[in-house]
Amino acid sequence: MPLIEQLKAALARKKSIEATATAGDRELTAAEQTEITDILASCKAIKAKMDEAAEFELFETDVNAGAGRQTGNNAAAGGKPPKAEDDQMQNWATAGEFFSAVYGASQGHIDQRLMAGNANAMGSDGGDVGFQLPPAMRQQIFTLFEQDEGDLMSQVTSETTNSNSVKYLKDVTTPWDAAGIQVHWDGDSTDMVPLKFNVTTQGTAELHGVSVFVNVEEDLLEDAPRLGARLLESAPRAMRWAVNEAIRTGDGVGKPQGYLKSDALVTVAKENSQAAGSLTIDNFAQMFTRMLPSSIAFCHWEINHDLLPELIKLKDDDGNLLFTSRDMGITKGPAGTILGRPVVFNEHPEARGEKGDVQLIDPRGYYMPKRTNAEKFAESIHLHFDKAVKSFRWRFKIGGQTFLSKPIKSAKSTLEKSHFVALAARK
């Protein structure tokens, strides 16, 4: 059995022992603990053999190079000499060449370049053996992951971290309810009483792992250019969609909590006798009044595209179009704003007539920590190949939730306001 398969089998056995103990709601027995210790020793021995084989392969490459030629997988495409050690592609000619080599490793044919240097050293993540991507490829994935083309990932309040959980100020205070801050006029007849700062405003955001699996057909494994495009372009876009959806609708269980599922959301009821799935001027006016005043300059509407035919015909009592201006009309395209705030159509709002098919949001009211900084970046970007399902995988860690734990009470009205406002269901 190839060494890589021996290593996978050993790790699988370890996971099986632990799973059996967990299923029985018990600790490991002495015999099971001894077997796990033996498995660790076996893995170390297998790894040592793999390192030794890789060194011999390197010596052979050096000998062949001395004879004026290069052989095997270690030769760079086109017979070019190896690149400098700080090369961001780590001696790989293309991304597809790297992915093909990873597939070869799963068959027991380990390319020396997969083992070269700390950036590409073989590692383990949750019992699955994988290879870290070269820096240039990791950066390309991260760049595509962050390019959300007007979506929310680039608009929310975000920061990188080394931690699996982050503390932050969860409630935004207002001038009329300043969380322990007191203003005293000299002419007031009452004495100023010291107040304790409201420490309950501190929250914790947990980071969650998110993985992307890419199934690969047999013919694609042999087509390096297509393989590279599939894994470096399509996969990050799919992951970006999933994260953007979680920002809105995540349930907070093993993933970020979306603002539509948070207690900070303000839901505006439909009008009396309003038709199913319809829109009214009052819907938009009522929603606008529930946005925080500090967020009005930064908020935007998100509307299900299915509502566009009705939206472009919506008029006030004087016959003025709400969304399309009188001078432009439908022939020159929608004006693109409602009450002065831009309208964004995308696939994330809920279905027509459901709660959240129309939203008014300020993305800055959402906090999203990401474990993707330079020091830890390599740890979370591995390329895994599972022989049984023919798929590649890599992971990020990301968290998210609203700053507000509940809507804010207005200073001189009964209305509650928030960064996130949704129109209620109309069925």
Q: What is the pLDDT of residues 336-354, one digit of tens each?
A: 789 989 898 888 999 999 9
Which domain covers residue 124, as residue numbers?
Answer: 1-24+45-65+88-132
Q: Are residues 217 and 253 in the same domain?
A: yes
Q: Are residues 165 and 235 in the same domain?
A: yes
| For residues 33-49, average pLDDT | 84
Q: Are residues 277 and 335 in the same domain?
A: yes
pLDDT grade for 384, boundaries at 50, 70 and 90: low
Residue 72: inside a domain, yes or no? no
Q: Are residues 412 and 286 in the same domain?
A: yes
Instruction: Read off the pLDDT of residues 140-193 as tens digits, 9 standing for 90 and up.
Output: 777 777 666 557 888 888 877 777 777 766 655 555 555 445 666 777 766 666
Q: Are residues 243 and 298 in the same domain?
A: no
Q: Are residues 6 and 109 in the same domain?
A: yes
- Kindly report the number of other CB atoms within 10 A of residue 121's CB atom: 13
Residue 83: inside a domain, yes or no? no
**3-state SS string for the chain:** CCHHHHHHHHHHHHHHHHHHHHHCCCCCCHHHHHHHHHHHHHHHHHHHHHHHHHHHHHHHHHHHHHCCCCCCCCCCHHHCCCCCCCCCCCCCCCHHHHHHHHHHHHCCCCCHHHHCCHHHCEEEECCEEEEECCHHHHHHHHHHHHCCCCCCCCCCEEEECCCCEEEEECCCCECCECCCCCCCCCCCCCCCCCCCCCHHHEEEEEEEEEEEEEECCHHHHCCHHHHHHHHHHHHHHHHHHHHHHHHHHCECCCCCECHHHCCCCEEECCCCCCCCCCCCHHHHHHHHHCECHHHCCCCEEEEEHHHHHHHCCCECCCCCECCCCCCCCHHHCCCCEECCEEEEEECCCCCCCCCCCEEEECHHHEEEEECCCHHHHHHHCEEEEECCCCEEEEEEEEECEECCCCCEECCCCCCEEECEEEECCCC
| For residues 110-118, average pLDDT | 68
Closest CA to 360 of 400, 427, 418: 418
pLDDT of residue 176: 56
CATH number, residue 357:
3.30.2320
Q: In this model, does residue 226 exceed pLDDT 50?
A: yes
Q: Are residues 240 and 383 in the same domain?
A: yes
pLDDT grade for 123, boundaries at 50, 70 and 90: very low
The number of domains in the chain is 3
Instruction: Read off the pLDDT of residues 58-101 as tens digits, 9 standing for 90 and up.
Output: 566 555 545 433 333 443 333 444 444 446 787 888 887 887 78
Q: Are residues 249 and 144 in the same domain?
A: yes
Residue 189: inside a domain, yes or no? no
Q: Are residues 3 and 103 in the same domain?
A: yes
